[in-house]
Chain A
Amino acid sequence: MRWQDDPVLEVEHLKMRFGGLVAVNDLSFSVGRGDITALIGPNGAGKTTVFNCITGFYRPSEGMLSLRHGDGSTLLLERLPGHSISWKAKVARTFQNIRLFTGMTVLENLLVARHNPLMLASGFTVFGLLGLPGFRDAERQAVEQAKFWLEKINLIDRADDPAGDLPYGAQRRLEIARAMCTDPILLCLDEPAAGLNPRESHELNELLLSIRQDHGTSILLIEHDMSVVMGISDHVVVLDYGTKIADGTPEEVRNDQSVIAAYLGVEDEEVEHVEAEVGL
């Protein structure tokens, strides 16, 4: 299994406490390099909390999050300051409720994602202010990259429109493209298919597969739509009440008794009985 042999991210004994509430409890799993890994579980299972720990929005109460780059170097995400996780560790993310810069154009949204490289190229603003050519070249490159992604997500015609004017499905795609503009090695998507119609959902699958194939980016996604999960993921991790209840290939997880129990909300012993009742 790739996630055992060559993990890009290893989560070990992760625990996240909010006061008395333990949202994530002793969670360990790995994300394979080049895999599409799905993190699933009922509402309130702690999936978004895991994302927030990985991307530096929460500091874990306990545990270790190690990110391995292709060259063998390892970074401990829980020790990095929040903004370095995108820039140094190359982990990008999207949000469960879309967070675009609504008053900025689609193109500007993508350029903000190139903040750090452009900042360097502009000599921390000094060279940029003087209008030196180095910065102009860097900006032209950033625009080219943005154009590449806009063509990929079919938004090139709307590049100069405000992001807030886009339809919902396009906003979801734009948020993914914006995350990809940071050149991540691990892309974390929080419910990317939520609210999409079947056609958009299908397009999303295509987009994710091509991101994995053409850019070598590993993908960790939270998803409720089982057709997406079963259709494109290589590895599924199931969370319930903050603990892992299953971990394996989609087939293994699909047939796991405790997963079915968690989704149907009954005790393990009653699963067969309930399954028969609902006609599974």
Chain B
Amino acid sequence: MALNTPHAPAIATAEATSSATGAQIAAALREAGIAALLTLGLSIPILAFKTEQNQANALYLQPRWGVVAVACALIFALRFVLCLRAARRAAAPPRLKAPASPALQKLFGIAVPLFLGVAVAYPVLATLASGGLGGARYWVDLGILILTYVMLGWGLNIVVGLAGLLDLGYVAFYAVGAYSYALLSTTFGWSFWLCLPLAGILAAFWGIILGFPVLRLRGDYLAIVTLAFGEIIRLVLINWVDLTNGGAGISSIPRVTFFGVPFDSSEGGFASLFGIPFSPMHRMIFLYYLILMLALITNLVTIRLRRLPVGRAWEALREDEIACRSLGINTRNTKLTAFAIGAMFGGFAGSFFAVRQGFVSPESFNFLESAIILSIVVLGGMGSQVGVAIAAVLMVGAPELLRNLDFLKQVFGAGFDPNEYRLLIFGLAMVAMMVWRPRGLVGHREPSIVLTERKAISGSLVKEGHG
């Protein structure tokens, strides 16, 4: 392996950088050969045979050795190139770590207002692009979905990215928020605006309840317990039929109103109040701006919190818990606030989910949701707000994009459904990320306070937390 190549003496490195030595090529060839063999081994059960039906409706195995050969050759070539590059880089004199270049920093400076502008103008853009309110339905819906995940990502980012506590059960708080709104509004008839803060408070309360027992746990153990907590909430929702109506869920949840004015075609509805023709899209667009506002509030509060003592204590906790204790930080309370505030935003997002769907059931809150939200945080770069937003767009938007790649059907034949390859592409993307950007899309940390000059902190110094 490239890592095993002995460190060449300093004089030899100069020529090693210009051309790969024979030994390096041999090592890379061997490495590539092993990889190709592995691929062969793996592809025999996966790729080599396809089950087909013959005329008699009997299954038979159709060998596809050509595909296997192509896969092995591809892996061989890829691995060979990768190994050579790694060997050359190891031999090259270590480059000084370049701080984030000014150009990149400037790009970030533009990216934020740009994102914000696009997000605010999105429904208008979608309407213009699809020629009419009705046509924009799909796009606005997608925008709402993405923003929901942006908000959830930002909420979880407080727990995982800032405080460094690995939480695999975040969806539990999303569920608490959704059911809070569903139950409060259907039972007491309370309005969304009253239920929203209540849902947040209830979720925060559950965050603290979860926080107490798990605080002494670290790393893997914390992850397992939070995972279990997420499942417990889901199972309670399924089995406590009296309260939650079990697996059937709660339907006919009151729809969102424009501060009391319903979005319907009646007298006194939104459309007639403003003297415009009725369209079901009005509610959609209102929902879009509602979640945009909620997400932005989450973001603003988080940015603010990072600059307050509590936010610094979260990050310090992620860096070194023992040092925190020696400086008089109550680590238990600090972790609890992280859990509670993260959960609160999850609860807000949950009640938004309920009011948007008009229907909640335990199905919507399974582990996959937690996994997606956590991937968004990890992919974005732990602790980076911009990174999380980009990751949410990629993770939620890209699968939708895949659905629309109809031109691929012309290339691969009518039976080709790019959507079926979603998880494969997702897996490949994750592997690529781990190789090239192990610290996430935004791999550096912004300092929370500056004395003279703002400098980004390289991700390699920032710890990931330990539990």
Binding site for B on A (CB under 8 A): 55-57, 82-87, 92-93, 95, 99-105, 107-108, 111-116, 118-119, 122, 124-125, 128-129, 131, 135, 143, 147, 159-162, 164-165, 178-179, 182
Cβ contact of A57, chosen from B310, B325, B329, B330, cutoff 8 A: B325
Binds A, one of B214-222, B313-321, B356-364: B313-321
Cβ contact of A160, chosen from B301, B313, B450, cutoff 8 A: B450
Binding site for A on B (CB under 8 A): 301, 304-305, 308-310, 312-313, 315-316, 319-320, 322-331, 337, 445, 447-455, 457-458, 461-463
Residues of A within 8 A of B462 (CB): 102-103
* 17 additional contacts (CB under 8 A) given A102-B463, A103-B445, A105-B457: A82-B325, A85-B328, A86-B328, A92-B327, A101-B315, A102-B319, A102-B461, A103-B457, A103-B461, A104-B315, A105-B449, A111-B309, A111-B312, A112-B324, A118-B309, A128-B310, A161-B455
Asked whether, in the complex, the Cβ of A165 is within 8 Å of the Cβ of B461, the reply is: yes
Asked whether, in the complex, the Cβ of B305 is within 8 Å of the Cβ of A125, the reply is: yes
Residues of A within 8 A of B452 (CB): 159-160
Would you mind naming 8 contact pairs between A and B with Cβ atoms under 8 Å apart? A83-B325, A102-B461, A103-B463, A107-B451, A108-B448, A119-B310, A128-B308, A182-B327
Given A147-B451, A160-B447, A162-B457: A115 and B327 interface contact (C-beta under 8 Å):
yes
Residues of B within 8 A of A114 (CB): 309
Asked whether, in the complex, the Cβ of B453 is within 8 Å of the Cβ of A115, the reply is: no
Looking at the assembled complex, report how far the CB atom of A160 sits from the nearest CB atom of chain B, in whole angstroms.
Answer: 5
Complex formed: what's the CA distance from A131 to B308 in Å?
Answer: 10
Cβ contact of A87, chosen from B328, B445, B449, cutoff 8 A: B328
Residues of B within 8 A of A83 (CB): 325, 328-331
Residues of B within 8 A of A119 (CB): 309-310
Asked whether, in the complex, the Cβ of A129 is within 8 Å of the Cβ of B305, the reply is: yes
Complex formed: what's the CA distance from A140 to B392 in Å?
Answer: 37
Residues of A within 8 A of B305 (CB): 125, 129
Residues of B within 8 A of A108 (CB): 312, 315, 447-449
Complex formed: what's the CA distance from A56 to B320 in Å?
Answer: 17
Asked whether, in the complex, the Cβ of B450 is within 8 Å of the Cβ of A115, the reply is: no
Complex formed: what's the CA distance from A161 to B447 in Å?
Answer: 9
Asked whether, in the complex, the Cβ of A112 is within 8 Å of the Cβ of B461, the reply is: no
Residues of B within 8 A of A135 (CB): 308
Asked whether, in the complex, the Cβ of A111 is within 8 Å of the Cβ of B449, the reply is: yes
Asked whether, in the complex, the Cβ of A99 is within 8 Å of the Cβ of B304, the reply is: no
Asked whether, in the complex, the Cβ of B310 is within 8 Å of the Cβ of A99, the reply is: no
Q: Which 5 A-B pairs have the closest CB atoms?
A: A103-B462, A86-B328, A87-B328, A101-B319, A164-B461
Complex formed: what's the CA distance from A164 to B457 in Å?
Answer: 10
Residues of B within 8 A of A107 (CB): 447, 449-451
Asked whether, in the complex, the Cβ of B328 is within 8 Å of the Cβ of A105, the reply is: no
Residues of A within 8 A of B319 (CB): 100-104
Asked whether, in the complex, the Cβ of B322 is within 8 Å of the Cβ of A99, the reply is: yes
Asked whether, in the complex, the Cβ of B308 is within 8 Å of the Cβ of A115, the reply is: no
Complex formed: what's the CA distance from A218 to B432 in Å?
Answer: 54
Looking at the assembled complex, report how far the CB atom of B131 sits from the nearest CB atom of chain A, in whole angstroms.
Answer: 44
Residues of B within 8 A of A105 (CB): 447, 449-450, 455, 457
Asked whether, in the complex, the Cβ of B312 is within 8 Å of the Cβ of A57, the reply is: no
Asked whether, in the complex, the Cβ of B326 is within 8 Å of the Cβ of A86, the reply is: yes
Complex formed: what's the CA distance from A99 to B297 in Å?
Answer: 35
Complex formed: what's the CA distance from A108 to B312 in Å?
Answer: 8
Residues of B within 8 A of A111 (CB): 309, 312, 449
Looking at the assembled complex, report how far the CB atom of A155 sits from the nearest CB atom of chain B, in whole angstroms.
Answer: 11
Asked whether, in the complex, the Cβ of B320 is within 8 Å of the Cβ of A115, the reply is: no
Residues of A within 8 A of B310 (CB): 119, 122, 124-125, 128
The residue of chain A having its C-beta at the shortest distance from the C-beta of B330 within the complex is A83
Cβ contact of A125, chosen from B308, B326, B331, B448, cutoff 8 A: B308
Residues of B within 8 A of A85 (CB): 328
Residues of B within 8 A of A102 (CB): 319, 461-463
Cβ contact of A84, chosen from B309, B328, B445, B451, cutoff 8 A: B328
Looking at the assembled complex, report how far the CB atom of B341 sits from the nearest CB atom of chain A, in whole angstroms.
Answer: 9
Residues of A within 8 A of B458 (CB): 162
Complex formed: what's the CA distance from A141 to B305 in Å?
Answer: 19
Asked whether, in the complex, the Cβ of A160 is within 8 Å of the Cβ of B328, the reply is: no
The residue of chain B having its C-beta at the shortest distance from the C-beta of A128 within the complex is B308
Given A101-B315, A102-B319, A103-B445: A112 and B329 interface contact (C-beta under 8 Å):
yes
Looking at the assembled complex, report how far the CB atom of A217 sits from the nearest CB atom of chain B, in whole angstroms.
Answer: 16
Which of B312, B328, B450, B455 has the largest count of A CB atoms less than 10 A from its CB? Answer: B328
